[in-house]
């Protein structure tokens, strides 16, 4: 009987060891793109707690990057999620979640997907020694590059070949929730060499976009003047867009009206002739009545949102503006061609009984006034919102839409694998004890009949 005393713990330890070994084996190698065009499913997968990390099972190149969840609902934990370009492959970007500090209020740190989908840059709003982490989703490896600057490093734009990263750095720690636009110096990091430098100019940069040939940058400079009335929305418009060489030499300037601002890293058209700007509209703010958003959305439908500017300033004709009701809150995500853009349309027509307010829609919008094409539904209009949605812009000209298949979420999160292993060991130990007790139980003598 003494020999059996050590058997239950021994079996429990053995099961735990095997479970841990299986749980933390390296993930499968990513599938090769094989020269295939990138694709998106007709409907992206829902929010899930079981999505594994990129580092645990690298998924290959990414076609989309976004935050799923805002932390405002019960059990709503914000996740940084990437979608693979070659299948229904979803992974959490743990390095972005880990680098988010108190200033993000639970959101991921500032992150930016490269045009070819092979790099994700992750910065930091508040740091004593600024650096940029660059994640390779094809291998799961992360390289951290110290960069010159002040107390932050915020990725702004990738060059078209996905090698140079323009980032913003501020003299003091920054905070995206102060209600004031974040402006500062702009630096450029060479992700291959790991070297970086600050461009000359005043610390008033808000946004950057690279030219399609990668030889110039459009740098939007503004002077923050507080917040928009009543709602704590940063004033983003006005100032100038400087067209500069990669060394910061200004080649020309474009004046912007006080209510217009550069529309992010995908603002420059593929043929180099147009810049997309957005109009910051406050006319609709007084239309919000409690939690009833219908009047507000109806008002937005009537406002111009994305306005195109002639880069050369020669007075050439530009496409008509796109309404806010079509563009949504995420702005211009990329170009499929010189005459078509992709947006995330998340404002359903007010009163439309067919509108699904739990879905956003990736939508291709012709610039000649043609009918928009819905490409892919993105769950997130309900309890788990979607923010900071980005696309791998170099993959968009050949982007395909396919039926959604079986979702690959990779290896479970580490905490769940560890918990499952521990539970398996406990069950094995308990089962062994029960079996031993039953087998060692003395037989009950039978009395005479």
pLDDT in tens, 250-273: 999 999 998 899 999 999 999 999
What 3-state DSSP class applies to 110? coil
Q: What is the 3-state secondary structure (H, E, C) of 132-155?
A: EEEECCCCCCEEEEECCCCCCEEE
The pLDDT value given to residue 312: 87
Q: Percentage of residues in the chain with pLDDT exceeding 90?
A: 59
The closest of 347, 233, 365 to 294, measured between CA atoms, is 347
**SS3 (DSSP) at 415:** helix
The pLDDT tens digits of the residues spanning 84-108 come to 999 999 999 999 999 998 888 889 9
- Residues 189-194: what's their mean pLDDT? 97
Chain mean pLDDT for the chain: 84
Maximum distance among all Cα pairs of the chain, rounded to whole angstroms: 115
Q: How far is CA 84 from the centre of its chain?
A: 13
359 pLDDT higher than 50 = yes
Instruction: Report pLDDT for 68.
Output: 93
Most confident of 14-28, 37-51, 335-349, 431-445: 37-51
CA within 13 Å, CB half, 157: 28
Q: What's the pLDDT score for residue 346?
A: 63
This prediction has a pTM of 0.84
**244 Cβ contact partners less than 8 Å away, ≥ 6 residues apart:** 199, 216, 217, 219, 250, 251
- Strand 250-255's sheet: what is its strand order? 205-210, 216-221, 240-245, 250-255
Among the ranges given (201-205, 240-244, 249-253, 287-291), the one the predictor scored with the smallest mean pLDDT? 287-291
Question: Quick check: helix, strand or coil at residue 286?
Answer: helix
The pLDDT of residue 21 is 47
Q: How many CB atoms lie within 10 A of CB 283?
A: 11
- Report the 3 state secondary structure along the chain: CHHHCCHHHHHHHHHHHHHHHHHCCCCCCCCCCCCCCCEEECECCCCCCCCCECCCCCCCCEEEEEEECCCCCCCCCCEEEEEECCCCEEEECHHHHHCCCHHHCCCCCCEEECCCCCCEEECECCCCCCEEEEECCCCCCEEEEECCCCCCEEEEEECCCCCEEEEEECCCCCCCCCCCCCCEEEEEEECCCCEEEECCCCCCEEEEEECCCCCEEEEEECCCCCECCCCCCECCCCCEEEEEECCCCEEEEEECCCCEEECCCCCECCCCCEEEEEECCCCCHHHCECCECHHHHHHHHCCEEEEEEECCCCCCCCCCCEEHHHHCCCCEEEEEECCEEEEEECCCCCCCCCCCCCEEEEEEEECCCCCCEEEEEEECCCCCCEEEEEECHHHCCCCEEECCCCCECCCCCHHHHHHHHHHHHHHHHHHHHHHHHHHHCCCCCCCCC
**Lookup: tokens for 222:** 């503004």
> Which DSSP state fits 353?
T
Contacts of residue 183, defined as CB under 8 A and 6 or more positions apart, other chains included, come to 168, 170, 203, 204, 205, 206, 221, 222, 223, 224
Q: Which of 196-210, 263-277, 379-393 has the lowest mean pLDDT?
A: 379-393
Residue owning tokens 């992150």 = 111
């Amino acid at each position: 009987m003494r020999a059996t005393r050590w058997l239950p713990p021994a079996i429990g330890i053995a099961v735990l060891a095997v479970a841990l070994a299986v749980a933390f084996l390296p993930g499968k190698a990513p599938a090769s793109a094989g020269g295939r065009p990138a694709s998106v499913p007709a409907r992206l997968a829902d929010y899930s707690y079981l999505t594994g990390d990129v580092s645990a099972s690298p998924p290959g190149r990414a076609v989309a990057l976004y935050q799923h969840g805002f932390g405002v609902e019960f059990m709503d934990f914000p996740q940084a999620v990437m979608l693979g370009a070659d299948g229904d492959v979803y992974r959490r970007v743990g390095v972005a979640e880990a680098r988010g500090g108190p200033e993000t209020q639970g959101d991921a740190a500032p992150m930016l997907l490269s045009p070819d989908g092979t790099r994700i840059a992750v910065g930091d709003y508040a740091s004593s020694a600024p650096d940029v982490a660059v994640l390779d989703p094809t291998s799961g490896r992360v390289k951290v590059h110290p960069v010159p600057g002040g107390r932050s490093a915020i990725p702004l734009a990738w060059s078209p070949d996905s090698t140079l990263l323009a980032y913003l750095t501020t003299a003091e720690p920054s905070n995206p929730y102060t209600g004031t636009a974040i402006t500062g110096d702009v630096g450029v990091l060479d992700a291959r060499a790991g070297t970086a430098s600050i461009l000359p100019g005043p610390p008033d940069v808000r946004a950057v976009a690279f030219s399609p040939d990668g030889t110039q940058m459009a740098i939007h400079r503004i002077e923050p003047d507080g917040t928009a009335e009543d709602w704590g929305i940063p004033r983003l418009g006005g100032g100038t867009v400087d067209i500069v060489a990669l060394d910061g030499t200004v080649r020309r300037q474009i004046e912007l009206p006080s209510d217009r601002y550069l529309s992010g890293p995908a603002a420059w058209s593929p043929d180099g002739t147009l810049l997309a700007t957005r109009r910051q509209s406050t006319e609709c703010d007084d239309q919000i009545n409690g939690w009833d958003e219908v009047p507000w959305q109806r008002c937005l439908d009537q406002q111009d949102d994305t306005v195109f500017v002639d880069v050369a300033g020669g007075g050439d004709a530009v496409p008509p503006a796109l309404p806010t009701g079509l563009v949504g809150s995420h702005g211009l995500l990329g170009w499929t061609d010189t005459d078509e853009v992709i947006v995330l349309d998340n404002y359903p027509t007010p009163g439309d009984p067919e509108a699904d307010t739990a879905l956003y829609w990736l939508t291709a919008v012709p610039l000649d006034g043609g009918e928009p094409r819905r490409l892919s539904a993105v769950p997130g209009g309900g309890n788990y919102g979607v923010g900071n949605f980005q696309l791998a812009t170099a993959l968009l000209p050949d982007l395909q839409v396919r039926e959604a298949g079986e979702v690959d979420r990779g290896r479970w999160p580490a905490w769940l694998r560890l918990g499952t292993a521990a539970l398996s060991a406990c069950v094995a130990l308990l089962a062994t004890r029960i079996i031993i007790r039953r087998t060692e139980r003395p037989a009950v003598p039978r009395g005479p009949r």
